[in-house]
């Protein structure tokens, strides 16, 4: 009963928060004018109108099919970058857990990546690859890889050897131990960095596109800023917000399923 009351209370507070947000938004729109702060109704109207066609986007030379193709372009870069970075990180973790020689090779890299913020290296990717598709994806791959790999390598050092030793006594080979014991054992410590990597990668995609991509939400946001089209800038931000919330929920769901075995252990 207490749990139900707590959920109901949280829901009421969330609804009140949304109501106050929209009231503040409407008041700001009235006080500052639609040009500076477009009203929620105008944003909703523009969101629907520009889904499949938008004269402003067409005028900027970014196609005649509205926001949708640019949303797909941004989503595609994000998915390729984050999934590739995640895959490379887990392959690297498998190698350092399975082969001692790889661990010795990767140790200096881990120390370097731990000391240098991944975002600090983003400008180098733009210098090397420009704002091409490869450059934007490269930034995301590197960021996702660094966040996940460093967290996994540190968790590997702290991992309790009891389960590994127990698996060996049952006759499990080294590869089996790494795949079925060590890598799953790293996930609880890595879930936070994985969520951060997947959330922050949206910002990297948009920044890369803002700097001169040929397509994507960031590319048309840059054009809207230039013509002071505040309403369409907000529509673009809402698109990114929707994508970010959806992916954050999906990543959290996948991690919760992968970590079901860990529930109640902490």
* One domain for residues 227 and 105: yes
Query: Do residues 33 and 132 both lie within one domain?
Result: no
Domain of residue 156, CATH code:
1.10.3720.10
- pLDDT tens column, 122-169: 677 767 776 677 788 888 888 898 888 888 888 887 776 666 665 666
Q: Give me the percent of the chain exceeding a pLDDT of 90.
A: 13
Gap between the Cα atoms of 206 and 199, Å rounded: 12
3 state SS of 252: helix
CA–chain centroid gap for 94, Å, is 23
Same domain, 138 and 241: yes
Same domain, 110 and 27: no
At 172 the pLDDT is: 63
In angstroms, the CA 92 to CA 109 distance is 11
pLDDT 10s digits, 75-125 = 999 999 999 999 999 888 888 887 777 777 777 777 776 677 766 666 777
Please give the residue range of the domain that contains residue 146. 38-262
Domain match, 31 and 57 both: no
Residue 50 has pLDDT above 80, yes or no: yes
Number of H helices, E strands in the chain: 12, 0
Are residues 182 and 79 located together in one domain of the fold? yes
pLDDT in tens, 201-223: 998 888 888 877 788 888 888 88
Our count of domains for the chain comes to 2
**H-assigned helices in the chain:** 2-32, 40-49, 55-59, 68-98, 100-115, 122-129, 133-158, 162-169, 174-177, 183-210, 217-226, 230-258
Same domain, residue pair 90 and 14: no
Residues 75, 9, single domain; the answer is no
Q: Are residues 104 and 216 in the same domain?
A: yes
Contact 39, 29 (CB under 8 A): yes
Asked whether residue 266 carries a pLDDT value surpassing 60, the answer given is: no
Same domain, 16 and 123: no
Same domain, 111 and 243: yes
Position 247 confidence tier, pLDDT thresholds 50, 70, 90 = very high
Closest by Cα among 48, 201, 54 to 136: 201
Residues 65 and 106 in one domain: yes
């Amino acid at each position: 009963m207490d749990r139900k009351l707590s959920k109901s209370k949280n829901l009421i507070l969330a609804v009140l928060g949304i109501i106050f947000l929209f009231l503040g938004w409407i008041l700001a729109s009235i006080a500052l004018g639609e040009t500076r702060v477009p009203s929620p109704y105008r944003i909703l109207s523009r969101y629907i109108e520009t889904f499949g066609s938008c004269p402003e986007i067409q005028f900027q030379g970014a196609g005649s099919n509205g926001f949708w193709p640019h949303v797909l372009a941004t989503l595609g870069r994000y998915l390729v970058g984050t999934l590739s970075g995640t895959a490379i990180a887990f392959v690297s973790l498998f190698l350092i857990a399975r082969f001692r020689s790889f661990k010795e090779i990767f140790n200096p890299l881990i120390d370097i990546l731990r000391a240098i913020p991944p975002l600090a290296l983003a400008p180098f990717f733009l210098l090397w690859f420009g704002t091409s598709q490869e450059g934007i994806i490269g930034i995301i791959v590197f960021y996702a890889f660094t966040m996940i790999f460093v967290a996994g390598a540190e968790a590997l050092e702290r991992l309790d050897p009891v389960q590994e030793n127990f698996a060996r006594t049952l006759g499990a080979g080294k590869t089996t131990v790494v795949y079925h014991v060590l890598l799953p054992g790293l996930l609880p410590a890595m879930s936070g960095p994985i969520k951060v990597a997947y959330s922050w990668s949206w910002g990297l995609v948009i920044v890369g596109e803002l700097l001169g991509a040929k397509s994507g939400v960031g590319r048309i946001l840059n054009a809207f800023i230039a013509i002071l089209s505040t309403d369409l800038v907000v529509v673009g931000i809402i698109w990114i917000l929707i994508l970010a919330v959806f992916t954050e929920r999906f990543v959290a769901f996948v991690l919760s399923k992968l970590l079901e075995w860990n529930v109640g252990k902490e």
